[in-house]
Amino acid sequence: MRVPARSLAAIGALGVLLGACADEGPGSVASDACAPAVEPPLQDGSHLLGDAEPPVAYSSTPPTSGWHASGNPRTGVIPAEDPLTDPELVLTIEVGQAVVAYDPARVDTGTVAELEELATGTYDQQLTVTPYEGAEAPLSLVAWGVLQSCDELDPDVLDAFVTAHADPHADAH
C-alpha cells in the first residue's frame, strides 16, 4: 500500500510533537543536566508518631508521598548534621514546599551554598534544601507526587520546578 506524501508529513510532524512532549515531565523542563520529571505512584499514608518507621516502603527515593512525620515541618536550609528523614521530607512537601535533596558526597560546597542562598532569597517560603544520601542522582528535585533527577544544578530547571510545584499556601494533601 502506498501512503500519500502529505500523510507521511503529517505522521512525521506528529512524531516530532509527541517526542517533544515526552522530553518533559509534569510541569518540568529537562536539560543536559536534568532528566525529565517523573510521577511515582502516589501512596496513602498517615502521620507517624515520634521516630516510627513507615509500615511500607516508599515508591521513590527520595519519597514524593506516603507516610509522614507529625508536627511542624522543617523548611528552608536544613543543616548537614541533621538532614530531613524520609518522613520529614514527605511532611515538608505535603505543606507545599519544593525540596532539593542533595548528596553531600557528590555535590560541591559551592553548589550547596548557591542552593542555600536560593532557599533563603529567591525561593523563600517555597524551597527547602537538605542533604540526602541514597538517591540515584546527586540532586533530586522533589514535590508532592513529582521527582526530577539532576547531575548538576541547572537554574532554569530549578526555577521551572519551583514555579510549577511549590505552593507555600497549600494545605496538607
Which residues are paired to 48 by β-bridges? 69
The more confidently predicted of residues 88 and 16 is 88
Higher model confidence: residue 50 or residue 68? 68
3-state secondary structure 97-156: CEEEEECCCCCCHHHHHHHHHHHHCCCCCCEEEEECCCCCCCEEEEECCEEEEECCCCHH
Q: What is the mean pLDDT of the chain?
A: 85
pLDDT surpasses 60 at 170: yes
| Cell numbers representing residue 165 in the block | 510545584
Task: Quote the CA–CA distance of 37 and 29 in Å, as a whole number.
Answer: 8
* Claim: this prediction has a pTM higher than 0.85: no
Given this model, what pLDDT does residue 45 score? 84
Residue 19 scores a pLDDT above 50? no
Q: What is the pLDDT of residue 1?
A: 42
- Asked if residue 107 lies in contact with residue 138, where contact means CB atoms within 8 angstroms, the answer is yes
Query: By C-alpha distance, which of 93, 106, 156 is closest to 135?
Result: 106
First to last CA, the chain: 53
For the residues 87-115, what does the mean pLDDT come to?
97
Using an 8 Å Cβ cutoff, are 159 and 126 in contact? Answer: no
Question: What's the pLDDT at 9?
Answer: 41
More confident residue, 24 or 30: 30
User: Domains of the chain: which residue ranges?
Assistant: 26-165
Q: How many other C-beta atoms are found inside a 10 Å radius of the C-beta of residue 94?
A: 20
